[in-house]
């Protein structure tokens, strides 16, 4: 008995995967009706879908957003990254304090006379070296504790990109205040106080009881003026800028939220740059006896 080969009509009737023509399958995509093999099956609410239909469907799914327009945050990666950068900078500073401080510390005269503008940012990632005394260690410990406690809360409320903008603008605001009214400073305190200011504004906007935040700001502001060697300029400069950024993010109208938020941050950045570019610092004026 001889076996007849399958006829052309029988061969054509066997469905094969549209991505793998050599694989026989009897499963179809629920959206496009194309045949799909097990390797191409993607679980759907009903049955299976092909990879292309799944990808197309994902494009139409709205991503979860935070209360103020940023992408929803589950893991506050920006907060952890900022913590790591601050700690790493402190380790490097401890190993070569003189060189690091001499190159990256915020110093009004170096910014004004030498054009070393990077000090306005890099100084916010340095802290008092251990050689200064026991208070030096508490300097970085307090700042990193505050970042660890408040950072994730703000990052989840604002979104990672907006939180990073808040942190950097607050740090810059503190440095600009030091430039205008002081001489030199180090520390993330400007950024930390900026977080305090933003947290107060955000809490008020969301209808939370902000008295504990206000108490925190008040106590730390008093300590700023009680203990010697603390840069009140950096603290207050960061606090003011952080509150302004928090207000921009919290009170932007929903219909034009992104434009108002990022446009407002850009305007604030331009103002801070203009203050450094157009105004002489206190340290320079005092050299000429016209500091007031």
Task: Write down the pLDDT at residue 221.
Answer: 80
Taken in order of first residue, the domains within the chain and their CATH numbers are 8-59 (no CATH), 77-287 (1.20.1540.10)
pLDDT number for residue 3: 47
Assess whether 189 carries a catalytic annotation.
yes
Q: Does residue 20 have an active-site annotation?
A: no
Tens-level pLDDT at each residue, the chain (292 residues): 444 555 544 545 688 888 888 888 888 888 888 888 888 888 776 778 888 888 887 666 556 777 788 787 889 999 999 999 999 999 888 887 778 888 899 988 899 889 999 999 999 999 887 665 556 678 889 899 999 999 999 999 899 999 999 999 999 999 999 999 988 888 899 999 999 999 999 998 988 877 887 888 888 788 777 776 778 889 999 999 999 999 999 999 988 999 999 999 999 999 999 999 998 887 555 554 444 3
Choose, from 35, 66, 189, 231, the residue flagged as catalytic. Answer: 189
pLDDT value of residue 63: 63
Q: Looking at residue 289, what is its pLDDT?
A: 47
pLDDT at 291: 41
For residues 132 and 125, is the Cβ–Cβ distance under 8 A? Answer: no
Q: Which of 66, 170, 175, 235 is flagged as catalytic?
A: 235
């Amino acid at each position: 008995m001889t076996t007849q080969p399958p006829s052309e009509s029988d061969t054509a009737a066997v469905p094969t995967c549209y991505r793998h023509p050599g694989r026989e399958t009897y499963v179809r995509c629920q959206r496009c009706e194309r045949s799909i093999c097990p390797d191409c099956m993607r679980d759907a609410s009903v049955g299976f879908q092909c990879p292309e239909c799944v990808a197309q469907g994902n494009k139409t799914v709205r991503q979860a957003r935070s209360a103020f327009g940023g992408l929803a945050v589950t893991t506050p990666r920006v907060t952890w990254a900022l913590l790591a950068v601050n700690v790493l900078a402190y380790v490097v500073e401890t190993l070569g304090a003189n060189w690091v401080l001499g190159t990256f510390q915020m110093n009004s005269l170096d910014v004004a006379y030498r054009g070393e503008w990077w000090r306005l940012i890099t100084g916010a990632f340095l802290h008092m070296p251990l050689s200064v005394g026991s208070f030096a260690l508490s300097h970085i410990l307090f700042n990193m504790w505050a970042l660890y406690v408040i950072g994730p809360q703000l990052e989840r409320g604002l979104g990672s990109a907006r939180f990073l903008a808040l942190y950097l603008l607050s740090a810059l605001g503190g440095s600009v205040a030091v430039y205008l009214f002081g001489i030199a400073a180090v520390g993330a305190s400007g950024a930390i106080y900026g977080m305090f200011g933003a947290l107060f504004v955000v809490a008020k906007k969301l209808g939370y009881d902000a008295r504990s935040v206000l108490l925190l700001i008040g106590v730390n502001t008093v300590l700023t003026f009680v203990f010697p060697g603390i840069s009140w300029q950096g603290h207050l400069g960061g606090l003011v800028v952080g509150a302004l950024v928090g207000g921009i993010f919290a009170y932007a109208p929903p219909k034009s939220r992104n434009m108002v938020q990022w446009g407002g941050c850009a305007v604030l950045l331009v103002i801070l740059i203009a203050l450094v570019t157009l105004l002489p610092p206190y340290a320079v004026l005092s050299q000429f006896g016209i500091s007031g």
